[in-house]
Amino acid sequence: MRRLGKIAYWLAALTLLSAILVSLDYSLVQAVLISLIFGPCALALEYLMPKARKPMDKVYLSLAVLVAVIVLILFLHYSVWSRINQFGSQETKNVAPMLINPVFLGLILTVLSIGDYYWSKWLDRRYKAQDRTVTFFSERKSVTLRLFDIAYVESNDTEVRIVTAAGDSYRNKTGISQWENLLGDGFLRIHRAFLVNVAAAVLSSPDVVTVAGKELPVSRKYKENVKTVLETAHGN
């Protein structure tokens, strides 16, 4: 799902960029070809920039990417399209001033790379649990569950219940604090006795979280953190 999400982002971003270029009187084919230049250049900027430790290294990297974009755009206009035009199948077009404007190009690259960065972060939070499993013993039997399928964990003093989104329940002797460490960031402590899957939980009221159709209490100790985490996770 994360890979499909990444593909969807770039398809949407490059489609929007193509539409902008069509408004500058480029044909659809020309607009798509120019847009495809920006994808790898924006990704190079996104992944190489954190590795540039010195401020001047970041400047040089930015300039190198900008130059690469301009060179590729000029190559398309004055080499590829001029040759295609010899066969009468494509109209030669001068470069739109915006496409050799470093400020405009820098803005496009920055928006694409930052957008991809935050979209990837969201995808990681949303789907990371789908790729992980946890194995434990319940009633002397080994059980393996995807973290994504666990709705909440409930502590009953001497044991805990692991409840899935499908309504299945498993008993285990491991303490809830240990489960909190085991399950990681995708799960949130809302009460001394409850640990919930952030992706499946909804804050019904300041004192109640609903998950898998079950209303669970939020204790005063965790109330502010629960509100912040769940509202951030669900974009409220």
What's the rounded mean pLDDT across residues 91-106? 82
Cβ atoms within 10 Å of 13's Cβ, excluding its own? 20
Do residues 122 and 148 both lie within one domain? no
Q: Over 80: is that where the pLDDT of 220 sits?
A: yes
pLDDT digits (tens, 9 = 90+) for 83-93: 665 555 455 56
Residue 128 pLDDT class (50, 70, 90 cuts):
low
Q: Give the range among 87-101, 139-153, 167-181 with minimum mean pLDDT.
A: 87-101
Say whether 169 sits in a helix, a strand or coil.
strand
Task: Note if the pTM is more than 0.75.
Answer: no
Q: Over 70: is that where the pLDDT of 198 sits?
A: yes
Task: Please report, rounded to a whole number, the percentage of residues in the chain having pLDDT higher than 90.
Answer: 56
pLDDT digits (tens, 9 = 90+) for 9-33: 999 999 999 999 999 888 898 899 9
Kind of pairing between the strands at 194-197 and 208-211: unpaired
What's the rounded mean pLDDT across residues 163-175? 93
Q: Say how far apart CA 226 and CA 158 lie, in whole Å.
A: 25
Do residues 49 and 21 both lie within one domain? yes
Q: Say how far apart CA 76 and CA 81 lie, in whole Å.
A: 6
Q: Calculate helix-pair angle for 28-48, 2-22, nearest 10 degrees.
A: 130
Do residues 139 and 226 both lie within one domain? yes
CATH number reported for the structural domain that contains residue 139 in this entry: 2.40.50.1020
Instruction: Please give the order of strands across the beta sheet that includes 194-197.
Output: 169-172, 160-164, 150-155, 194-197, 187-191
**31, 21 contact by CB (below 8 A):** yes
Residue (of 233, 213, 66) closest to 151 by Cα position: 213
Range of the domain at 62: 2-128
Q: Say how far apart CA 118 and CA 166 lie, in whole Å.
A: 31
How confident is the prediction for the chain on average, in pLDDT? Answer: 87
